[in-house]
Structure 1
Amino acid sequence: MYTKAKQFINFVTETVQNRKTIINLANNDFKSKFVGSYLGVLWAFATPLLTILVFWFVFEAGFKSLPMENVPFILWFIPAYIAWTFFADAMTATTNTLFEYEFLVKKVKFRVSVLPMVKLLSAVYIHMFFIGFVFLVYIFMEHRLMLQYFQVFYYMFAMLILLIGLGWLTSSLAPFFKDLSQLVNVFLQIGFWLTPIFWSIEAMHPPAWVNFIVKINPMYYITSGYRDCFITGEWFWQRPETTVWFWGVTLATFITGAYVFQKLRPHFADVL
C-alpha cells in the first residue's frame, strides 16, 4: 500500500513539475487549431458567442421564456451553459489526445501524462474569456457586482480537478478501446439533458428518485455553483452535502485516472 501511494505521489508530482512544457504545448495547441483561417484564434471565441446569441434570440424573442430565479432566462442559462461547454470540449479533446500527439507518446523520455493537461489548458483560455463575458453581461444588465462573482474560479478549479482525472482515465483507455471517443460523445449528449442547463430541478419538482439521479451527477454541482455565483449569491459551503459528495467523487476519479494511466502508459507506444 505504501509503495502504491508513493508511486501515485511521484506520478502527480512529476506531472506538475512539467508545467512549463504543459504551458508551451497548450499555447501551440490553441494556435494550431485555427492555422490557415483568416480570423485565426478569433474563431475559438466567435463560435460559442454566436451560439449564445442564437439561444438569446430563440428563448427571449421567440419563446419569450419566463424569468428564472428572478432574472431573465438567458442570464439564468448562460452561466451553466459556459460551464457545460467547457466540460464537454475538454472531455472530447482529452480523450483523443494520445492519438493527436502520437509522435510524442513514442518518445521514450517524454512525460506522456502531461498531454491531457495540455488539452485542458488550451480549453481554459476560451473558458476564461467567457467567464469575463458573463461578468460584463451581468454588470451591463444592472446587476450589482458581488464578491460571490469571484467564487466562479473555485468552481472552475473544482471542474479542472474532475477533468484531469477523467482525462487521464479516458485518454489511457482510448488506444485500447477505439470506440471510446464515440461513447464519450454519446454520454456527453445524454449528460447535457440530464444536467439542469435548460431546465430547473427546483421548478419541476420531480420524483425523489429523479432528483437523486440528477444530483449525483458531478456537473449538477458545477452548473448550480456557476449560477450561485451570479444569481443567488450562495457560497459553496452553504451547500455542504453536495460539496462533500462532489469532492468525494472527484478525488476518487482523480486517483483512479492517475492509477490507470500509470499502469497502461508502458503499452501506449505499442498500440498506437
Structure 2
Amino acid sequence: MKNVIMIIKEQIDNFGIITRVSKYEEKATYQSHYLGLMWQFLNPLIQIGIYYLIFGLGVNGGRNVDGVPFIVWMLIGIIAWFFINTSLLGGSNSIYHKVAMVSKMKFPVSILPGINIMSNLVSYGWMMGILLVVMLGFGIYPTIYWLQYVYYFICMIAFLFAMGILNSTITVLVRDYHIMLQSILRLLFYVSGPIWEIQSRNFPTMLVKILELNPVYYIITGFRESFLSQGWFWEKPTLTLIFWGIVATILIIGTHIHMKFRARFVDFI
C-alpha cells in the first residue's frame, strides 16, 4: 500500500503539470492538420456512423434495445469504449515514448499515464455533448439516476489509471506487450457490450456471468443504467465489490512493479 499512496500523492502534487502538458499534447498532435482539434471528435463520429450502419441497421435491423432507440443505446456504450480504448493504448506507451525526456526533468514518470488520460478527456467531452443532444432529441430527459454518472466516471478513471501504471511499466520492460494489448482490446470490444447486449445473445448462462466480471462491461453497463434510468449501482453489490477488487489488485501490482523498475527505465529503453 505504501507504493499506491506514493503514486497517488505524485498525481495530486503534480496535477498542474498534468493539466498543462495534456493541453500542449492536444495542440501538438493536430497542429499540422487543417481541421486541427476538430479531429478529436470527427474521428470517433465517423466510426460511430460506420458501427451504426453495420450493427444498428444491419445486424440489429434498426430495432430498439430495451425500449430505447439503438442509436442512443449504442452511443452511451461506444463513447465510453472509445475513451477507454484510446486511454489504455496511449497509457501503455506513455512512459516508453517520454521517459528519456522526463528523466531530465523534475516531475515523476508516474504522471505520464495521467497526462494521457487527461488529453483524451477533451474528445470524450465533445462526444458526451453529442450524446446529450441525441438523447434529448429522442425524448430522454434527465432523472435522478443521472447523478450516479459521477460514480461510474470515477470508476472509469480509477480503472484507466490503475491499468495505465501497470501497462506503461510492462511495455517498457517487454516491448511486445503493447502489441499484445492491441489484440486483447480488439477482443474486449466485442465482449464488453458497446455494440450489442450480451444477455440477448445465445451465450451459456455461465459464460454471461463470467463476461459480466469484465471491468469495462461494468462501466459501460453502469453508464447505460444511469442515463436510461434503469437502476442504481448499489443494487448489484457483488459486481461492484468485484470491480473495485480488480482495480485495487491491478493498482497494487502496477505500483509495485513501477516503483521497483522506474529508476532503470532509461536502461531498458
For this structure pair, what is the TM-score category when the shorter chain's length is used for normalisation?
over 0.9
- Using the TM superposition, name which of 224-233 and 243-252 deviates more: 224-233
1:24 counterpart (17, 20, 23): 20
1:190-221 per-residue CA deviation (whole Å, 9 max, x = no partner) reads 11111122221222352132112211111110
Distance in 2, matches of 1:7 and 1:175, equals 19
1:222 counterpart (184, 207, 219): 219
Distance in 2, matches of 1:151 and 1:128, equals 17
- TM normalised by structure 1 equals 0.92
Counterpart in 1 of 2:97?
A: 100
2:168 counterpart (167, 171, 174): 171
- Report if the CA contact (8 A) 1:168-1:258 is conserved: yes
* Matched length: 268
Distance in 1, matches of 2:200 and 2:57, equals 22
1:89 counterpart (83, 86, 91): 86
2:50 counterpart (31, 51, 54): 54
Distance in 2, matches of 1:145 and 1:108, equals 46
1:107-162 per-residue CA deviation (whole Å, 9 max, x = no partner) reads 26331111110001111221122222212111111122223224223212111111
Distance in 2, matches of 1:13 and 1:132, equals 32
CA positional deviation for 1:225: 0.6
Structure 2 unaligned spans of 5+: none
3-state SS of paired residue (2:175): coil
CA positional deviation for 1:104: 2.4
- Report if the CA contact (8 A) 1:105-1:269 is conserved: no
CA positional deviation for 1:90: 0.3
1:12 aligns with 2:15: no
- Report if the CA contact (8 A) 1:166-1:253 is conserved: yes
- Report if the CA contact (8 A) 2:74-2:194 is conserved: yes
Distance in 2, matches of 1:253 and 1:104, equals 27
- Report if the CA contact (8 A) 1:155-1:226 is conserved: yes
- Report if the CA contact (8 A) 2:30-2:37 is conserved: yes
- TM normalised by structure 2 equals 0.93
Distance in 2, matches of 1:151 and 1:206, equals 29
Query: Per the alignment, do residues 233 and 135 of structure 1 end up closer, same or farther by CA in structure 2, a change over 3 Å counting?
Result: farther
1:130 counterpart (127, 134, 141): 127
Distance in 1, matches of 2:47 and 2:4, equals 41
Name the Cα RMSD after superposition.
1.7
Distance in 2, matches of 1:42 and 1:255, equals 37
1:191 aligns with 2:184: no
Amino acid in the other structure paired with 1:218: P
Distance in 2, matches of 1:267 and 1:191, equals 32
- Report if the CA contact (8 A) 1:59-1:74 is conserved: no
1:206 counterpart (194, 203, 209): 203
Identity over the aligned pairs, expressed in percent?
28
CA positional deviation for 1:6: 3.5
Query: Per the alignment, do residues 107 and 238 of structure 1 end up closer, same or farther by CA in structure 2, a change over 3 Å counting?
Result: same
Amino acid in the other structure paired with 1:46: L
- Report if the CA contact (8 A) 1:105-1:268 is conserved: no
Distance in 2, matches of 1:177 and 1:227, equals 36
Structure 1 unaligned spans of 5+: none
- Report if the CA contact (8 A) 2:55-2:195 is conserved: no
- Report if the CA contact (8 A) 1:92-1:181 is conserved: yes
